[in-house]
């Protein structure tokens, strides 16, 4: 198969230019301009399109086992492919949680039978996400765990976190932190600020996140650990991580599209579509997140795809669960709010969707366009204008704060091991 006429962006070697890509048996065999088609070779014309490594989502929730009404592994994978993703890393907060060998094997076999996406599960750090007893790290890594996180909940016992970090790092893996001080977050619905005051909802202050990050940074420093911060949402968090990186700490960070596109002001109508944890913050926070993306403090754009049923998301805001359907709008939001707005280069955004997460997680067959490696690619139309329509999502969570919004730029093909899925 020959992908012909596309403009390649490959963050690994900083390449940006016109080139063809030859794929045989799912493997990239040749990358060069003007490749001559071989006899009977299938030609895929991607003239005018951008060809990038396939997107890697290092933070999502697929809900199976336990909450199949919200999403299943099958529908989650279909939604991810529909958003341009060739690899995903689901979090462990299912029921039962992915804190043991049999549940991990179950999710991996489900993913294998339903889709061909790169599937790299993140296992719990602690049994039952209770923050007390470490999971069997080496056993889970042998089966296929890619990293460890109690996401949805913080690990609050700092002695425990320190020991777990040393142990997990010694196995060449990382902890992904849901940084939150639960005493400050408790009972909160939206960001603590002018909107929460005005509409009378209990707020979640920004220091809920930054205080936890500050504390964890000291733990990371004390053991010289490698550590990743999930869904960074506040200005102060960005400042802390920026300073830590300057000092040489081996930390990385991600944010999600809603934190650089939406703010607490969007919640003025009590609409639970926007309810997410961490909550949408202020305009100032949003700008700091964009600045953090720009200067490299924030390495990765992850979706934090966190589906719920439409019924649940239509409940009164106090009762509705937190989470946004993310796979199918992430690229549109990133291109519209970061690239077309002139804030980040296309190359930088692509890196944060591909090479950066693959590198943090040590996934060798993702995040790059390289001969001898699997053909995991995304084809993008940078200028197509489209309106998000949640009713057409492949995700079961067909409700979204981005529903009805106009975006510029979208994925047109997801190519996984040479197999093409057309989008849109």
Instruction: Give residues in contact with Zn ion (CB under 5 A).
Output: 151, 178
* 4 phi and psi angles, rounded to 5 deg: -115, 135
Burial of 38 (0-12, 13-18, 19+ CB in 10 A): exposed
In the bound state with Zn ion, the residue whose beta carbon lies nearer, of 257 and 409, is: 257
The span from the CA of 354 to the CA of 368, in Å, is 7
In the bound state with Zn ion, the residue whose beta carbon lies nearer, of 151 and 264, is: 151
In the bound state with Zn ion, the residue whose beta carbon lies nearer, of 7 and 178, is: 178
C-alpha distances in Å from residue 170, one per residue of 137, 166, 280:
10, 6, 35
Choose the catalytic residue: 40, 304, 381, 389. Answer: 304
The two three-digit tokens of residue 273, written as one number? 């579509």
Task: Please choose, from the candidates 6, 60, 116, the residue with its C-alpha nearest in 3D space to the C-alpha of residue 300.
Answer: 60
Asked if 305 and 55 touch (Cβ cutoff 8 Å), the reply is no
In the bound state with Zn ion, the residue whose beta carbon lies nearer, of 178 and 242, is: 178
Residue 411 three-state SS: strand
Its sign, for the CA torsion 141, 147, 148, 153, is negative
Asked if 152 and 93 touch (Cβ cutoff 8 Å), the reply is yes
Q: How far is the CB of 408 from Zn ion (least distance, A)?
A: 29
Output b/e per residue, 81-96; b: 16+ Cβ within 10 A.
Answer: bbbbbbbbbbbbbbee
Q: How far is the CB of 151 from Zn ion (least distance, A)?
A: 4
Biggest alpha carbon distance in the chain?
69
Instruction: Provide the 8-state DSSP code for 38.
Output: P
- Residue number closest to Zn ion, CB atom: 178
In the bound state with Zn ion, the residue whose beta carbon lies nearer, of 22 and 308, is: 308
Q: Where are the alpha helices (DSSP H) in 30-129?
A: 73-82, 101-114
Task: Please choose, from the candidates 119, 87, 116, 88, the residue with its C-alpha nearest in 3D space to the C-alpha of residue 105.
Answer: 119
Residue with tokens 């291109």: 335
323 strand-pairing partners? none
The span from the CA of 194 to the CA of 200, in Å, is 10
Asked if 32 and 358 touch (Cβ cutoff 8 Å), the reply is no
The span from the CA of 351 to the CA of 12, in Å, is 8
In the bound state with Zn ion, the residue whose beta carbon lies nearer, of 35 and 184, is: 184
Residue 269 catalytic? no
381 strand-pairing partners? 410
In the bound state with Zn ion, the residue whose beta carbon lies nearer, of 180 and 374, is: 180
Q: How far is the CB of 157 from Zn ion (least distance, A)?
A: 18
Active site residues: 304
């Amino acid at each position: 198969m020959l992908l012909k006429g596309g403009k390649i962006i490959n963050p690994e070697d900083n390449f940006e230019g016109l080139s063809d890509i030859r794929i045989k048996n799912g493997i990239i065999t040749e990358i060069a301009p003007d490749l001559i088609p071989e006899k009977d070779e299938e030609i895929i014309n991607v003239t005018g399109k951008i060809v990038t490594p396939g997107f890697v989502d290092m933070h999502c929730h697929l809900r199976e086992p336990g909450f199949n009404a919200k999403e299943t592994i099958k529908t989650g994978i279909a939604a991810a492919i529909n958003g341009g993703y060739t690899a995903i890393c689901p979090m462990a907060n299912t029921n039962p949680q992915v804190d043991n060998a049999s549940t991990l094997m179950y999710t991996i076999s489900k993913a294998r039978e339903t889709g061909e996406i790169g599937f790299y599960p993140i296992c719990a750090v602690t049994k039952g996400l209770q923050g007390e007893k470490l999971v069997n790290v080496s056993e889970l890594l042998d089966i296929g765990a890619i990293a460890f996180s109690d996401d949805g909940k913080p690990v609050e016992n700092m002695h425990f976190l320190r020991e777990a970090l040393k142990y997990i790092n010694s196995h060449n893996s990382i902890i992904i932190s849901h940084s939150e001080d639960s005493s400050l977050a408790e009972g909160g619905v939206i960001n603590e600020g002018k909107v929460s005051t005005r509409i009378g909802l209990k707020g979640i202050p920004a220091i809920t996140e930054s205080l936890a990050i500050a504390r964890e940074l000291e733990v990371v420093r004390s053991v010289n650990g490698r550590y990743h911060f999930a869904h960074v949402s506040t200005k102060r968090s960005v400042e802390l991580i920026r300073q830590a990186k300057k000092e040489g700490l081996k930390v990385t960070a991600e944010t999600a599209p809603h934190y650089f596109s939406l703010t607490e002001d969007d919640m003025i109508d009590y609409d639970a579509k926007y309810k997410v944890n961490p909550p949408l913050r202020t305009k100032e926070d949003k700008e700091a997140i964009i600045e953090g993306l720009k200067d490299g403090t924030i390495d990765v754009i992850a979706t934090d795809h966190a589906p719920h049923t439409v019924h649940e998301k239509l409940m009164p805001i106090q009762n509705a669960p937190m989470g946004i359907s993310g796979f199918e709008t992430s690229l549109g939001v990133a291109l519209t709010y970061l690239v077309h707005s002139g804030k980040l280069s296309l190359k930088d955004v692509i890196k944060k969707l591909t090479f950066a997460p693959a590198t943090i997680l040590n996934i060798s067959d993702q995040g790059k366009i390289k001969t001898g490696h699997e053909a995991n690619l995304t084809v993008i139309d940078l200028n197509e204008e489209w309106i998000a329509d949640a009713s057409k999502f492949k995700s079961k969570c067909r409700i979204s704060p981005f529903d009805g919004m106009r975006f510029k730029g979208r994925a047109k093909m997801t190519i996984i091991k040479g197999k093409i899925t057309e989008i849109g």
